[in-house]
Structure 1
Amino acid sequence: MKLFTQAQYDQLIQNGKDMGEYKDHHPVVRLFITGTACTWLLTELCPDDPDIAFGLCDLGMGFPEIGYVSIQEITDAQGPFQRLERDMYFEGQYPISVYAEAARDIGQITLDEKSLKQAAYKP
């Protein structure tokens, strides 16, 4: 399976070109390693080096964080019985800041609508 569809790749690159002072893109793709708690919600790829992605990263240790990650390093994290896959049904409904806030609240990336709504409307 390809990590990104052409439409996702194009959107990730377009988001990476956005040089706005405060950008808070919706995640474009969700990657995960089967059999683990490792998950990535990616919002952009660096147009000059598409191996560098930006998004919310969760290695399953209870400390998800926003930052940059190498696509090659994510790919290399696969084991003989764990595969890197793309969530074919994921659609980012909120800006990445909302996913990050919800993840901080519960210690892992979540797609739970109640948790995301609470994070979105936090004062």
Structure 2
Amino acid sequence: MQLLTSEQESQLLTNGKKQAAVRGTADEIDFEPVVKLFNPYGPGTWLLTELDPEQPDIAFGLADLGYPELGSISMSELKEWRHPLLGQGIERDLYWSPQRTLSAYADEARKAGYIAA
């Protein structure tokens, strides 16, 4: 499965360009996530809001590999990961749509101990 549609990739890059212009200031943008990725065989959920316009392999979002945290994510690592026995990879949630901003998901995840999306 393709992790990102062309529309999602375009939106992530657009968000990354907007954020780059205000990063480190009081005007940083709290985007709604564009896409939810998950490991169907174990821990691993990612809510992505942007791609770095200078290094589009680097995404930003909320990741949960046993503990939720905000940070950078390597898209190539997500694309390359395969379950050691089943050979399946990370998938995109085809039926998910955002209900709040990334910081709201992060706050909720810190309280719950996992991403509930």
Q: TM class, shorter-chain normalised? A: 0.7 to 0.9
- Taking the TM superposition and a 5 Å limit, the aligned residue runs for 1:77-88 are 77-80=81-84, 81=86, 82-88=88-94
Q: TM-score, normalised to structure 1's length?
A: 0.83
Q: Which runs of 5+ in 1 are unaligned?
A: 112-123
Q: Percent identity?
A: 47
1:55 CA displacement: 0.1
Which of 96-105 and 76-85 deviates more? Answer: 76-85
Q: TM-score, normalised to structure 2's length?
A: 0.87
Distance in 2 of aligned mates of 1:97 and 1:87: 20
1:7 aligns to what? 7
Q: Deviations over 1:58-91 (max 9, x none)?
A: 01x2x20000011112223322424210001111
1:10 CA displacement: 0.8
Distance in 2 of aligned mates of 1:29 and 1:8: 7
1:54 CA displacement: 0.1
Q: Would you say how many aligned residue pairs link Structure 1 and Structure 2?
A: 109
1:120 aligns to what? none
RMSD: 1.2
1:5 CA displacement: 1.0
1:71 aligns to what? 75
Q: Give the residue type in structure 2 aligned to 1:3.
A: L
The answer to whether the aligner puts 1:23 opposite 2:29 as a matched pair is yes
